[in-house]
Structure 1
Amino acid sequence: MDDWKSRKMPEGLKPKGRPVGSTELAWCRAVLSGTGITVLVLQASKRPEISNLRNALHKLQNSHPILRSKLHYSAATNSFSFVVPSVSHLQIEAFDLSSTHRIFQNTSATSIAPLQKVLEHELNVNPWSTRAAGSEMEVNVLFASVYEIKDAKWVLALRLHTAACDRATAVGLLRELKALMGGADQREVWSEGGINMGIEDLIPDGQAKKPIWAHGLDTLSYSLRSLRLTNLEVINAGGPRFSQVVRLQLGRHETQHILEGCKSRKIKLCGVLAAAGIMAGNSWRRSATSHRKKKFGVVTLIDCRPLLEPELSARHFGFYNSAILNTVVAGGGEGLWDLASRCYATFARSKSNNKHFTDMADLNFLMCKAIENPSLTPSSSLRTSLITVFEDTVIEQSGDGRQEEEVGGVEDYIGCASVHGVGTSLAVFDTVRDGRLDCACVYPTPVHSREQMEALVEKMKKVLVEGGY
């Protein structure tokens, strides 16, 4: 068994504060326009005890200093850094029923559940976008709010800067918060002691090595290839942008059948979700007379913690994801499993060639260039490809009833990140919860409409259900 209590970073690798790394810097630039806000929302049947919640969050901030840090921008050096104050200043913002109702009046969708309305509201609250030219800035990376909603229920929302919180961090944060609110002692929670180094400084020697000329060629290759990718129809590339969410859920039997199909073919669920997205997107782009093959861009995010040196565990908070961008050719006549196997094989080859490390700088550079020059993307939409998936699926099983009751009767929760500044048309945050597939599918609007994306996700669901057999 992994003795995680003994797996601590050497003290020399845990600064109290530090400049952001290259990948983190890309998120700092992206979040100004609306990509890179991570949100967790939990719906509860009991009002959270604010003092208990505040104490639990402060304990988490003490155990994981990056959650206590402030993102500091220096106008003099045009640089960002994490600064860790000695004491947490986190305040929990509370909204009563009338305040929540006023917030909901600003949403265009009346049919979605209150939990999802809170999620969409939080995805579009951006405290990191107010930096004025030539000014200093210092903002928390973590914010907490409690919303009262109808039927005597409440929603707890945690909003984080993605530079300090990838999906593994969000999952770990949720688990540790529930444990602390359920009565666990702080000594039972992993303690890091300081902010760990950025991902670039932990890549094993030689695995990210690439000659300068190769960087140039690959950057050019990615740029030219993106011009030939097939994208979803852009509804409106102008005007203020927001992130919205469509939820894709399958039953236990349907989920089990898909997971068994993945196991028998030795592929991961990310390949199936990517294939379903491509098949759904392709059905929208096909005409009655055209059956030619099209190229689709698929971004797969990898949790690099086990691949770093020294190796990190999921209990090391921060951003340690890397992306692999692949092109998948589809003609519309493929079956789900054939295309899923091809999607996964393409990704696996790229990973075996260390593309997640060697191309990290190239993709960060292109991300920033797209933000600065929207005209480089289709219809100036800032869309870089069709779909984002995660290599590994989050597996969740309900805790015992006593802990859930002390937490406040948690009934449902969703976690995802915003994408409306720059990114793919659809980002899929997948979880298998108590044997059921539950995906938060995030998209930018008005680049894409809610009706368009609800139809796309419904088509994905149909592909998964019918094609999985």
Structure 2
Amino acid sequence: MSNRIITGRPLSRSEQSWCKAVSCGTGTTILSLLVSKPPNLSHLHNALQKLQNSHPILSSKITYSTAAAAFSLIIPSTIPLPPFKLNSFSPPSPKDDVVSLSHLHIILEHEMNINPWSIPNLSSSSGVPVFFGSVYELPEEKWVVVFRLHTVVCDRTTAVGVLRELKELMKEIEEKNGGVEMGNSCFGKVSLGIEDLFPVGKGKKGIWAHGIDILGYSVNSLRFSNLKFKEVSGPRCSQMVRLQLSIQQTSQILMDCKLRGIKLHGALSAAGVMAAHSDQRNSGDSLGYKRHIVSNKYAIVTLTDCRSQLEPPLSSHNFGSYHSAILSMHVVKRGETVWDLAERIYTSFTNSKLSNKHFTDMSDLNFLMCKAMENPSLTPHSSLRTSLMCVFEETVEDDLQSQFGLEDYMGCASTHGVGPSIAVFDTIRGGMLDIMFVYPSPLHSREQMGMMVEEMKRILLEDRT
């Protein structure tokens, strides 16, 4: 694999698109940890230093060339790598609409809306780091440790890897009482972008096929149904609603999926479409649709990890952004149950993946996302919403360990620039389903999304036919 790794590099086409999206606010990954004892900052610094040595992409910086209108990743030229900086803060003052939320939730939303990656910042000679860390001291002798990463270097697999490796490193360092061998760094090596690792022939599509697919996506996007928008003007920020189910409720939903031979993402997508369809019928023609239209088309984006299918194949240890999207459109049929719809959605996704659409359509979807950013009026009410929901093919499974005083954690990415109305981040911890639903505010309200999530829960648990 040595011949497929280089020192620094221009960003790939899909990564270029994400960097453009970050200027709008999309593309920030957050890992937020609640601990009940003071974090040993010396040990944490050592663990982060070793993490960066193992994954130098985390120590890279993003730069922007105005002349080339392109973004690049660079590696600092000093050895050893500069120490990771942890900033300390007091918790942000809660606003009126978040007084009932936990400190962990409030801090996550606060960090999710900090964007250091604007083009003026990236155009500086030194660039901007892709990885930031903060520690918030809470009044009740608890602490929140937050890591904020640019999505170009951190897809969901990477985020899970960062958390798991960091916990192992902290355990190793504490067992050795602070001393740890830093090992040999693979300094200066950054893996190629996803398009440069496509299997031969799988990403190819003729120019006419590209044109037809782009036209099809564009025309269909004008017919997509959306959630009712609450406020379409004013600056956007990201907010989150959390849903936690019991072991019994989780087991019931997973068993229903197993009986039908589908994955959880199919059920979550179907419940979201059903809930949105119910909301739209109840709101009449508030979105400009005629009351007599009973069949509306909803767009679902499903993200799939391509690592195992690339050439050469990558493992979860290869940090970066290696997910691809498959866009599908679905209509709720009269008399259809959520599980009927879930099977249709899952089958549609599976067939698209077997047809390699996660490779062949990547450039088309990136092109349309960029066009939406350049021409917001092409989207309903200039909302920059490109789909109803975004889900992941695989659910993360993890056990919440109490070591180091870790009580709880949350991880998700922002969506308020351009993208879906709802981004779904699902995890099973100790047999319990824990889901974060990220949405753009004030386009959607916290009350609206809370009701939407409760309706999804009701649909999944009560529709057993």
Q: Which runs of 5+ in 1 are unaligned?
A: 1-9
* Paired residues, number: 449
2:62–2:122 CA contact under 8 A, matched in 1: no
Q: 1:454 aligns with which of 450, 455, 461?
A: 450
- Distance in 1, Cα, partners of 2:147 & 2:367: 29
1:387–1:425 CA contact under 8 A, matched in 2: yes
1:416–1:440 CA contact under 8 A, matched in 2: yes
Q: Which runs of 5+ in 2 are unaligned?
A: 174-179, 285-290
Partner of 2:288: none
- Distance in 2, Cα, partners of 1:251 & 1:304: 31
**TM-superposition CA deviations, 1:354-400 (whole Å, max 9, x none):** 0000000000111111111100101100000100000000011244x
Letter matched to residue 443 of structure 1:
Y
1:438-453, aligned counterparts within 5 Å?
438-453=434-449
Partner of 1:412: 408
Letter matched to residue 225 of structure 2:
T
**TM-superposition CA deviations, 1:189-245 (whole Å, max 9, x none):** 997972111100111000011001111111111010011111011111211110000
- Distance in 1, Cα, partners of 2:254 & 2:304: 19
Partner of 1:79: 70
Cα deviation for residue 93 of structure 1 reads 0.4
1:64–1:193 CA contact under 8 A, matched in 2: no
Partner of 2:395: 393
Partner of 1:341: 343
- Distance in 1, Cα, partners of 2:225 & 2:335: 16
Partner of 1:47: 38
1:272–1:340 CA contact under 8 A, matched in 2: yes
Q: 2:112 aligns with which of 123, 127, 131?
A: 123
Q: Give the match's secondary structure for 2:414.
A: strand
- Distance in 2, Cα, partners of 1:332 & 1:431: 32
Q: Give the match's secondary structure for 2:314.
A: coil
Partner of 2:82: 88
**TM-superposition CA deviations, 1:127-169 (whole Å, max 9, x none):** 1026169765600000000011232111000000000100000
Deviates more, 1:117-126 or 1:455-464: 455-464
1:139-150, aligned counterparts within 5 Å?
139-150=128-139
1:107–1:117 CA contact under 8 A, matched in 2: no
1:270 aligns with 2:270: no
**TM-superposition CA deviations, 1:394-445 (whole Å, max 9, x none):** 011244xxxx43xx21110010000000000000000011111101100000
Q: Give the match's secondary structure for 2:144.
A: strand
1:23-422, aligned counterparts within 5 Å?
23-85=14-76, 86=78, 87-95=81-89, 99-100=90-91, 103-106=92-95, 108-129=97-118, 131=120, 136=125, 138-183=127-172, 194-287=189-282, 290=292, 292-331=294-333, 333-399=335-401, 404-405=402-403, 408-422=404-418
Deviates more, 1:12-21 or 1:129-138: 129-138
- Distance in 2, Cα, partners of 1:307 & 1:137: 35
2:62–2:71 CA contact under 8 A, matched in 1: yes
Partner of 2:177: none
Residue 258 and residue 227 in structure 1: after superposition, are their counterparts in 2 closer, same or farther (change >3 A)?
same
1:20 aligns with 2:15: no
Deviates more, 1:222-231 or 1:148-157: 148-157
Cα deviation for residue 265 of structure 1 reads 1.4
2:63–2:122 CA contact under 8 A, matched in 1: no
1:428 aligns with 2:424: yes
Residue 168 and residue 129 in structure 1: after superposition, are their counterparts in 2 closer, same or farther (change >3 A)?
same
Cα deviation for residue 290 of structure 1 reads 4.9
Identity %: 53
2:266–2:346 CA contact under 8 A, matched in 1: yes
Cα deviation for residue 187 of structure 1 reads 7.6
Letter matched to residue 120 of structure 2:
R
- Distance in 1, Cα, partners of 2:464 & 2:225: 25
1:14–1:193 CA contact under 8 A, matched in 2: no
- Distance in 1, Cα, partners of 2:398 & 2:187: 24
Cα deviation for residue 90 of structure 1 reads 2.5
Cα deviation for residue 322 of structure 1 reads 0.2
- Distance in 2, Cα, partners of 1:281 & 1:42: 32
Cα deviation for residue 109 of structure 1 reads 1.6
Residue 186 and residue 249 in structure 1: after superposition, are their counterparts in 2 closer, same or farther (change >3 A)?
farther
Residue 105 and residue 265 in structure 1: after superposition, are their counterparts in 2 closer, same or farther (change >3 A)?
closer
1:142–1:158 CA contact under 8 A, matched in 2: yes
- Distance in 2, Cα, partners of 1:189 & 1:328: 51
- Distance in 2, Cα, partners of 1:319 & 1:253: 34
Q: Give the match's secondary structure for 1:71.
A: strand
- Distance in 1, Cα, partners of 2:304 & 2:334: 28
1:68–1:142 CA contact under 8 A, matched in 2: yes
* TM-score normalized with structure 1 length: 0.92
Cα deviation for residue 13 of structure 1 reads 1.6
Letter matched to residue 454 of structure 1:
G
Cα deviation for residue 467 of structure 1 reads 2.2
- Distance in 1, Cα, partners of 2:302 & 2:417: 19
1:257–1:468 CA contact under 8 A, matched in 2: no
1:299–1:389 CA contact under 8 A, matched in 2: yes
Residue 92 and residue 389 in structure 1: after superposition, are their counterparts in 2 closer, same or farther (change >3 A)?
same
